[in-house]
Structures are given as structure tokens and as C-alpha cells.
Structure 1
Amino acid sequence: MRYSLLSVTGKDNQLFEIALLLVAPVTLTGAFGVPAVPLTVAVGEAPVADPIGGPATPLDRLHGVALLDQLDSLPRGDVRLFLDTHPQALEELISSPPRASEVAAWWAGAPTSGRSILRSVAPELIGNLEGVPYTARDIANREVLDAARQQLDARLDGMLGRAERGELETRNHMLDQIEKALRGEERRLVSIDVTGDGRAVIAIGDLTRADYVSYLVPGMFFGVDAQIEAWTETAQTLVDDQERWLRELNPGSDAAVAAVAWIGYRTPSLVNVASMELAREGQQSFTASLQGLRAARGDDQPYLAVLAHSYGSTAALLSLAEDDVHVDALAVVGSPGSPARSADELHVGSVWVGAADWDPIPASGVFGSQPASRNYGAHLFSVAAGSDPLSGAQLGGAFTHNDYFAPGSMSLRNMALIALGEGSGWWLPITPAATSRAPSPTSASHTAG
């Protein structure tokens, strides 16, 4: 419904004032015999011209939330036509999305029919738009996954060269791994990109109501095709362990936990692991993910923890030092560091570091700091084999760079407790800052993982 103040001059030059006439655009056509021009303005801005017959902002000149606000009011056919004829508008919304808080506010005010149309016409947008509720994103992203599978199957049924067939079969295998990772109770596909090496973010548990949420951020060689299933199972193990710890440490508690297997950036290989370029890409994507959770939760915020390994810890450290995000706890293991010189420069409630004796990366300072050093100011937790201080069970130790998230290990056990805010209890073994020495020539020559 639009509100207009109309003036009509009669033949006898008398002025008939029609004040605050409540009319819809189609009513204007019937009442006065002239076509009504829809009013199109950016959200939050006042019209710059008379809405009756005055110039309006063309749809293809709108951006961000202003564009979303107009698309959600169009019929399905018009939305599809616009996106088909203006693919760059969709690409821009995906590559340079509005802030998650703006998206959350838009979604809350958008008509249900408009949200449904956008999800069905552009699932790749809604599924990856931070600030949209996770249930809606999961539905949209599964549609993207199904559509990608159908397209690949159709192409593989045709005549292909050996190289092209090999590439498509590799991509098909990646989709298989995502589908396998989604098999399990209460798993949601939070984000997906089926192009290139792919990206996938899978949540275990309900991110909209969990009291404790943990993000698991991996490092080198953790591509979607090779690791999304295993990384999701690691997140599941973390959730299972945390639920057990909550029952043991807080009998009668009904607190819920959730974890996010986050492969939301291109992880490096041996070729580019010494550069921070991919860490910067990871920083941008990880910041958006954290802001999306904050926006989706509104006034009901969880205890938020980040558990990051190796090169992934560099991306997380960049995000938590330079961007507008804050978490309650951060645990990094096997970290090559970041430009942040101390824990005080991070937007984190408590900072924890784990480092295996035979892992050279934490002592290398490849990217400017040594989080495991005494001067950094973080708490160091044990990753060595030993008895569980509470249960007496024997736990495995992390000896090399890739042992920190092993099920049944002291390292994963301690990170589970840290992510529950239980790091200060006597039940979490602490180790001395053993890596405060300067990097040796041998350790400095190793690449970050």
C-alpha cells in the first residue's frame, strides 16, 4: 500500500484537494486512467522525486539490501527474468554481500512469498548469504548440491575427452564427499561452492539455539574433496565429547552444543603455503561466517569458540585481530602465527595454544609471531599423551603437526573443554611455555601447515 497526496485541477480552475488518499498502484490506474509508476528507492532513503510519474531508480542500478528489498516484492517470473538478464547483479550479491546484520533485518521484514521465490530462483544466493537463517540456507544449499549433481551426471553421460571426463569425475567425487558428510543426525549445509576446488561448511547441531558453538578451522591440504567428510566427523566427535563433559561437570544441565566443520576458504598446498594470500581470503570468509552467526542469533548469543589448526589458525588470527568480530575462546594448535604480536591484540576472551614437541611449525614464527611463546601471553594446554585427570582414561598424544584433532587424544579433549569455557579448572593440564626460544635455522626452514 502506498500513500500519496494528490492534487487535481478541475475545468473551472477549482482545486480539489484529495488528502492522504490510500491507493495501491493498480488503483491509481483504475481511478484516474493513467498508468501507475512503481516507486523504487534504496532502503532507508527518501524518494528523490514525485512518486507519480517521477523518475525511479532502475532495478539494475540497485545494490545490496536495496536490491534484495525490491526483488522480494516481485513475481517469480520477474525475478527470474531480471537475474537471467543481469547475471552480474547476482554475482555481486554473492561476491560482495551486504553485512550480515543488514541481511538478517531484511529477511525478518521480507514477505514469506518473496523469500520463498528468491530461495527457489537463486538458491546459490540464499544458501550463502550470511544473516539468512540456517534452516533456509540448508534447504537452498542442498538444492544447489542436487542441481550440480544432475548437471554433472548429464555431462558425464555424453561424449567427452579424457581430460574433461577426468575433471568432471573429480568434481563428482567432491559432491559425493559432501553428501556423505551430511549423513547424520542434525547436520546442516551452511555454505557451499561447487566450482573450482570447492568450499563447504557443515554444522553439527542447531546453530540457532546451541548454548555453545565451536568453529573448527583447518590448514594445509584440507580441501573439500579430500577432507570434508573426515573434518565433519571430527566436529561430530567434538560435539559428542562436549555433551558428555557437560553431563559430567554440570549434572542436570540441559545446555546444547553445536560445532561447525568449516572449510570456507581455499586451503594451501606446498606450492603456496608460505604466502599469506590464502590466509587473507580465509580471513574475509571466516569473519563473514562469525558475523553471520552473531546476526542470526540476535540477543541470544552462544558461548563462541574457535579451534584452529596450522595455516587455518593464521586466517582465524587475522580475523580476530583486524576485523569486527569477537569470540569467547580461541585455541590454536600447530600455529605458524600471524602479524598480531600478543594475545592482547585479539578480540578474544581467552587465548589457548597447543604445540607438540616434534612439531616445528609453532616455533617457526613464519607469519610474524609465535603464539606458543611465553611473551605472547596465551595459556598453553597439554597435547601430550597421559591419563585424563577426571576419568583416568589413557589419552593419546600429539607428536607431529597433524595429530592434534585425533579422537581420544589429550589435545582434542582439552580443546573440547576450552570451547565449553572450562579451561580454568584443575582438570585441564597446562604445559610450560617451551617454545619461547627464537626460531632455529632448521625449524624456520619448514613451511607452515
Structure 2
Amino acid sequence: MDLATIDAWNTGALDTMADSLSKRVTTVSEVDEALRTASRLPGWYSEGADSARQLYTLTADDLRDEAAVLGAARQLAVETSAAVNHLKVRLAGLRAQAAGASMTIHNDGSVTAVPTPDREDDEAREGLRKSLETAAKALITQAADVDGDAARVFDAIRDGKITSDGAATVDDAMKAGADQGGLTALEPPKDKTPYEVKAYWDALSPEQQAELLRDRPELLGNVDGIPSAVRHEANVAQLNPVLKQLEDRRDQLKEQIKLWGLFSNEDAELEQVEKKIDDVKKLQELIGTDEWSPDNPLGRMLLVMDMFSAEQGKAAVALGNPDDADRVSVTTPGLDTNIRNSFGSMLGESAALRDETLDELRNAGRGNEKVSTISWLDFEPPDKDSSRPFGVPWLEVAQQDRASDGATDLANFYRAIDATSTKDDPHIVALGHSYGSLTQGLALQDSGGHPVDEAVFYGSPGFEANDEPELGLKDGNGYVMMGTSDFIESFGGVGPNGPAPTDTKLEQLDVRSRTTADGVEREGAYIHSDYPRNGQNGELRVSGYLMARILAGLSPE
């Protein structure tokens, strides 16, 4: 299979085939109805009449099996035509994009670029070349799957495996056949980059995308590279089924505990399951109060909902669609953050940051720019409710295992923002608080690279770096904020997390009380929890204002 095969496929012939089959199905239906009428033979009661009725029954069975085969073949033709047309349109678009950049897409999906004398854009051109190549090869993979599905259906027809499945009418038999004759959508590829996943998604026809979202939402909701609107819809669709699964497990564990008593493995699991039930209910409440939709573009999007991979429930919620945003922030929280107790206040802080950023953009004459702020809890920060070790979070703050576990996923999440964005180069800002700043720092040093433009570490115990280049950032694009009464400062440079943040070469921001450049009197950030919160006067503290300025692409002042 290669791109030349996609070029050669004749969708017109498939459409003709589908039309012919539709006419044949109509004929079979008419014959069935005629025989049905004749079989009633009103007023004729004899041995001959009984034989006629038996003959109708046998003929009707044959007609329904034929209708099933016709239904399968027609459905295959219709769906294959749609899928191939989609592949052809996508391929034409990729070729036009390649030609505009002096590149060539070859039949095996590889892409070559004509050398240019301007060396400054080499990195950007190489990025485009790789993107085109990834997309072209995804089309080949999808074409091979379509071809394989066609062979599967034709083999089933040839081997007599397409049946009416006991359908009572020809129409029902045709529907039964159609169910056996359609294409099957490829599942998202595993262990691939978000860019490869996005290319896979784009290669699917809209009908196949809709089928996956409708029938297999659990495959899409937490996959980096799937568009945000799809992830949101998939995760919202899973809230009730996941809650039911957890409640069933809770009831099962309670029955087991009745038999075996407390202090068993079941008792420990029950505690975790009950917390996750609370987590799901909290997400239902938080998303339901202001759910994102095309009619509510500033609403909440559930980008991650994971209740099974770890001890604690995990989630990520965006305010506004990051795929359409010019500016995106991702906040990673620290100690004692979980969905059921503190995620609501985190979303409130995220909303305040977005509102302030939009204000700064309007004041700068750039009110047309869109902003999305994301609260990312797709990892397990140390938590007093944790059973590792013995529910004492401070024993874990000095360790990096939770941060390291989360860093790989966070780096991938950043790449997903870039992969699914409709903007050429969205401005992405990493915000890390407390233990979450360590997770951020490790994510920005991931070997796969990242698209983050700026990073802010506040109330940080350290982030394993001394300057911006170590974090994959340009000089001057990394910032540290430390309140004068923040106890965490005494840990800097003492633990295993690299140099003290206030001793690094990153930009050190003053977060003391003052009237900021916009003329607003703001309280400073002093204690560990102050940074993203409003002061007593209802205004964001200096620290929150500075984060908004950075997210807006303005100098912090």
C-alpha cells in the first residue's frame, strides 16, 4: 500500500456499485412483498395451498439472506467511498502544502525538501517536513486498513458468513447485513507521539471519527494528540459509566469485608474506591456548572479523567478550548491537591488568571486573542490522604518519584497542545507551584523536547535546573517567584531537587505588595498558598498579575 494506490482508487465506481446494490435491494424487497401477499392465499385451504405456503417460507429465507449480503456489500461500498474520498482530499491538501514549501511527498510517504539559501528557517522547515511525512504515512496506514476491511467483508460474503440473523423482513435483513459490512475504525495507536496520533485522527473519515466517539469513548478521552473537543466529549460520556463501575466495586468490596473483616487488602482498596467515587462526583459538579460547548466557548473542558491507573483520581480541565487559543497556560499544583477537596478552588484560580490575561491583552490592543488556562492534575502530588508512606506527605516531598512519574506525561501533554492547535505557533506557558514545580522542571527536561515558550516556578522546592537552556527555554523566559514568608524557601538547595530556585539564573520576580503598571493596588504573595489567589481587596495578588502578563506575552512589571 502506498500513496499511488490512493490516487488510483475510483470512488465513482464505488458510488455506482452502491447505487446498483440499492436498486437490487429494492427489487428483492418487492419480490418478498409479492410472495408474502401470494402466500396468504385467502380462501384457499388445501394440500396444494399448504405446499405453496411452505415454498414461500423457503423462498423468503433465501431472499432475506440475499438481502443481508446486498446490505453488507452496499454498506461497504458507501463507507469505503467516503473513507477513500477523505484520503484523497487529505492527500491533495498535503501535496499543496508541500509544494508551497518546495517539498515533495513520495509514494512511500517520505518527504524531501529542496535546500534553501536562507539558513534561518532550517529548523521550521524541518519541522514542517516531518509533519507532512507523519501525515502522509498515516494516510497509508489508514488506506491499508480500509483495504483490509474490504477484503474481510468480501471474504465473509464468499464464505456465506453474512446472514440475515433471523430477521423477520427483508428490510431487517438488509440492516443486519449492513451491520456486518461496514468499515471498522482503527483504534488510536499506542506508544506514538501526539503528532502521530493527530495524524492518525486526521486520516480517519468523519464517519469513522463519529463512530469511535459514539461507541468507544474510553479509547479517546485520555489520549494525547486527539483534539480537545473530542477528548472532552469522550470523557464526559464516561463519567456515569466510570461512576457506576466504581460504585459496583465498592459494593463488592463491602460484601467481601463482611466476610473477611477489616484490616484486609479489601479494606485499603475500599478507601481508595470511595475517594474516587467522590472524585467523579466532584468532576460532574465542576464540569456541569459551566461545560464547554461550541455555544459556550469559554466553558470547561474535561481533557483527562482517569480513575484506574493510580491510587488517586487524576484529571485535567481547560477553561476554553486550547486548540483554538493563541495563548495557553498549564498549571501543575503541589502538596495536598486532589480532585474532591481542592480542584474546584484551582479552577477558580485558573479563571482569575484567564480573566486578568484577557484584560492585559485588551489594554495592549490585542483583545482579539484567545486564552485557555489548564489545571493539570494528571499525576499524584504528595497528599495527606495518601497511603504512601503512611499518609505522611512530607516524607514524599523530599522524593522525586511522583514528580518523575508525572513529568513524562506532562511533557507529552505539552506536545499534544502543540499537535492539536489550529494556530501556527501557540504561546504556551508552564506554571508550577510547590511540588508541581518540580514536575514542571523535569517535564521541560524531557528528552523528547517540548513546545513551551515560558515557565514560572513559584513556591518551589527546586526544579533540577539552574538556567533556562537546561529547561529548553530561551534566556530570560524562565521566572521564579518566592514569597518572603514562604516556608518552602528554607528547603531550597537542601533537598535533592537541584539548586535553590532563588539562587538560579532564572528571572527573579518581586512579588511584594505594590501598585502595578495597570494602576491597581495589589497585595503581595507572602505565604506558600498566596501566589494564584486574590488578595482581600478582591484583586489578584502581584504574583497572579505577573503570571497573567507573562501569559499575555508582555514583560512582567
Please report the TM-score for the alignment, with normalisation by the length of structure 1: 0.72
The residue that corresponds to 2:299 in the other structure is 186
Residue in structure 1 matched with residue 443 of structure 2 by the alignment: 319
Change (3 A) 1:255 1:166: same
Match of 1:9 in 2: none
- Per the alignment, do residues 153 and 352 of structure 1 end up closer, same or farther by CA in structure 2, a change over 3 Å counting? same
For 1:229 and 1:72, the matched residues in 2 are separated by 48
Please tell me whether the aligned partners of residues 445 and 472 of structure 2 are also in contact (alpha carbons under 8 angstroms). yes
More moved, 408-417 vs 292-301: 292-301
When the two chains are superposed, the root-mean-square deviation of aligned CA atoms in Å is 4.1
Change (3 A) 1:66 1:387: same
Moved more, 281-290 or 226-235: 226-235
Q: 1:104 to 1:72 in 2, by over 3 A?
A: farther
Q: Is the 8 A contact 1:97 1:129 kept in 2?
A: no
Q: Work out the CA distance in 1 between the residues paired with 2:420 and 2:401.
A: 29
Q: Could you say which residue in structure 2 is the equivalent of 1:359?
A: 486
Deviation at 1:339, TM superposition (A): 2.7
Partner of 2:205: 111
Structure 2 SS opposite 1:322 = coil
| In structure 2, distance between residues paired with 1:311 and 1:173 | 24
Kept in 2, the 8 Å contact 1:72–1:114? The answer is no
CA drift at 1:181 = 2.2
Residues 415/111 of structure 1: CA separation in 2 closer, same or farther (3 Å cut): same
Q: Distance in 2 between matches of 1:305 and 1:379?
A: 15
Match of 1:246 in 2: 361
What is the CA deviation profile of residues 239-263 of structure 1, one whole-angstrom value per residue up to 9, with x for unaligned ones? Answer: 111111212232x631111100111
Q: Which amino acid aligns with 1:400?
A: I
CA offsets 1:365-403 (integer angstroms, 9 cap, x no match): 221122221xx221111222222332232x222222222
Instruction: Give the equivalent residue in structure 2 for 1:204.
Output: 319
Q: Gaps spanning 5+ residues in structure 1: where? A: 6-18, 31-43, 47-64, 84-88, 429-449
Specify the SS of the correspondent of 1:115. Answer: helix
1:289-300 aligned at under 5 Å gives the runs 289-297=413-421, 300=424
How far did 1:167 drift? 4.8
Match status 1:303 vs 2:397: no
Match of 2:276 among 156, 166, 171: 171
Aligned twin of 1:436: none
1:418 and 2:543 matched: no
Give the C-alpha shift of residue 166 in structure 1: 5.3
CA distance in 2, matches of 1:215, 1:227: 17
Amino acid of the structure 2 residue aligned with 1:119: L
Q: Is the 8 A contact 2:229 2:321 kept in 1?
A: no
Distance 1:276 1:168, change over 3 A: closer
Residue aligning to 1:409: 541
Number of positions where the alignment pairs a residue of Structure 1 with one of Structure 2? 372
- Quote the residue 1:276 is aligned against: 400
Counterparts of 1:221-232 in structure 2, within 5 Å, are 221-232=336-347
Q: Which has the higher strand share?
A: 1
Q: Which moved more, 1:326-335 or 1:339-348?
A: 339-348
Which residue, out of 234, 257, 276, partners 2:349? 234
How much does 1:155 deviate? 5.9
Q: Distance in 1 between matches of 2:513 and 2:347?
A: 24
* Alignment deviations for residues 111-161 of structure 1 (CA, whole Å, 9 cap, x no partner): 223223333343222111111111111111111112112334556678745
Question: Are the aligned partners of 2:478 and 2:506 in contact in 1 as well (CA < 8 Å)?
Answer: yes
- Provide closer, same or farther for how the CA distance between residues 170 and 308 of structure 1 changes in structure 2, counting only shifts above 3 A: same
Change (3 A) 1:423 1:147: same
- In structure 1, the residue matched to 2:507 is 379
Three-state SS of the structure 2 residue aligned to 1:306 is strand
Distance 1:98 1:171 in 2: 29
Structure 2: any 5+ residue segments left out of the alignment?
Answer: 19-68, 70-105, 109-139, 154-177, 259-266, 291-297, 383-392, 535-539
| 2:335 match | 220
Identity of aligned residues (%): 23
1:4–1:21 CA contact under 8 A, matched in 2:
no
The correspondence for 1:369, drawn from 477, 496, 499, is 499
Alpha-carbon distance, 1:289 to partner: 0.4
5 Å-filtered alignment, 1:35-114, equals 70=145, 97-114=191-208
Contact 1:73 1:114 in 2 (8 A): no
- Contact 2:304/2:314 (8 A) holds in 1: yes
Does the alignment pair 1:131 with 2:225? yes
Structure-2 separation of matches of 1:399 and 1:122: 48
CA contact (8 A) 1:181 1:233 kept: no
Q: 1:411 to 1:21 in 2, by over 3 A?
A: closer
Q: Distance in 1 between matches of 2:341 and 2:355?
A: 23
Q: Are residue 140 (structure 1) and residue 234 (structure 2) matched? A: yes
Whichever of the two has the greater Rg, that structure is: 2
Q: Are the equivalent residues in 1 in contact too, given 2:455–2:478 (CA < 8 A)?
A: yes
- Normalized per residue, the structure richer in helix is 2
Distance 1:70 1:234, change over 3 A: farther
For residues 141 and 338 of structure 2, the distance between their equivalents in structure 1, rounded to whole angstroms, comes to 35
Residues in 2 aligned to 1:114 and 1:121: alpha-carbon distance in whole angstroms: 10
Q: Take 1:406 and 1:343, find their aligned partners in 2: how far apart are those partners?
A: 26
CA separation in 1, counterparts of 2:346 and 2:143? Answer: 34
Query: Any residues of structure 2 matched to 1:421-436 within 5 Å, and which?
Result: 421-423=553-555, 428=557
Cα displacement (A) at 1:351: 0.7
Partners of 1:303 and 1:357 in 2: how far apart?
A: 30
Supply the distance in 2 between the matched residues of 1:264 and 1:232 (Cα, whole angstroms): 15
- Contact 2:332/2:375 (CA < 8 Å) preserved in 1? yes
Is residue 119–residue 126 contact of structure 1 (8 Å, CA) maintained in 2?
yes
Q: Secondary structure of the residue that 2:337 maps to in structure 1?
A: coil
